[in-house]
Structure 1
Amino acid sequence: MTARLTSELLPDWVTWLRAPNPGPMTLDGTNTWLLDDGTVIDPGPDDLAHLEAIIEAGPPIRRILFTHAHPDHVDGVITLIALTGAEVGDPPDWITQLGTPGHTSDSVCFVAERDGQRVVFTGDTILGRGSSVVAWPDGDVGAYLNSLDMLSGYPVPGLPGHGPVLPDCAAAADWLRAHRLERLDQVRAALKQGASTPEDVVNIVYADVDPNLRFAAEWTVRAQLAYLATLSEL
Structure 2
Amino acid sequence: MPVDDPEDPDRLEGPAVTRVEVPVDTRAPGGTTNAHLLDGLLADPAARTDALDAALAERGSEDADAPSVEAIAVTHAHPDHVGAVADYAALTDATVVARDDHADRFAAAAGVEPDETVAPGETVADTAVRAVDTPGHAPDHLAFAAGGPGTESGRSVLCCGDLAVAEGSVAVAAPEGDLAAYLASLERVRDAGYDRLLPGHGPPIDDPPAACERLIDHRLDRERDVIAALDGGASDLDAVVDGAYEKDLSGVRDLALATVAAHVEKLVAEGRADEAWRARLADRGFD
Q: Which residue of 2 aligns with 1:44?
A: 46
Q: Which deviations, in whole Å up to 9, do the C-alpha atoms of 1:51-93 show, x marking residues without a partner?
A: 5344334224321021100011111101111222222135255
The CA deviation at 1:26 is 5.0
Find 1:136's aligned residue among 174, 193, 203: 174
**Which TM-score applies when normalising by structure 2?**
0.73
**Shift in CA distance, 50/212, structure 1 to aligned 2, threshold 3 Å:** farther
Counterpart residue type for residue 130 of structure 2: T
Measured in 1, the distance between the counterparts of 2:239 and 2:51 equals: 41
Aligned pairs (5 A) from 1:31-70: 31-37=34-40, 39-45=41-47, 47-49=48-50, 51-59=52-60, 60-70=68-78
Find 1:74's aligned residue among 61, 68, 82: 82
SS at match of 2:203: coil
Aligned pairs (5 A) from 1:49-198: 49=50, 51-59=52-60, 60-89=68-97, 90=118, 91=124, 92=126, 94-113=128-147, 114=151, 115-155=153-193, 156-198=195-237
**Shift in CA distance, 57/203, structure 1 to aligned 2, threshold 3 Å:** farther
Which fold has the larger relative contact order, with Cα–Cα distance below 8 Å and residues 6 or more apart in sequence?
A: 1
What RMSD in Å do the two structures reach over aligned CA positions? 2.1
Report how many aligned residue pairs link the two structures. 230
Contact conserved, 1:24 with 1:212, CA < 8 A, in 2?
Answer: no
SS at match of 2:263: helix
* Bigger Rg, structure 1 or 2: 2
Q: Bigger shift: 191-200 or 133-142? A: 191-200
Measured in 1, the distance between the counterparts of 2:223 and 2:211 equals: 18
Measured in 2, the distance between the counterparts of 1:201 and 1:49 equals: 45
Measured in 1, the distance between the counterparts of 2:182 and 2:254 equals: 19
Q: Which residue of 2 aligns with 1:222?
A: 261
Identity between Structure 1 and Structure 2 (%): 35
The CA deviation at 1:4 is 1.5
**Shift in CA distance, 199/14, structure 1 to aligned 2, threshold 3 Å:** same
**Which TM-score applies when normalising by structure 1?**
0.88
Q: Which residue of 2 aligns with 1:207?
A: 246
Measured in 1, the distance between the counterparts of 2:246 and 2:237 equals: 13
**Shift in CA distance, 154/22, structure 1 to aligned 2, threshold 3 Å:** farther
Counterpart residue type for residue 145 of structure 1: L
**Shift in CA distance, 203/152, structure 1 to aligned 2, threshold 3 Å:** same
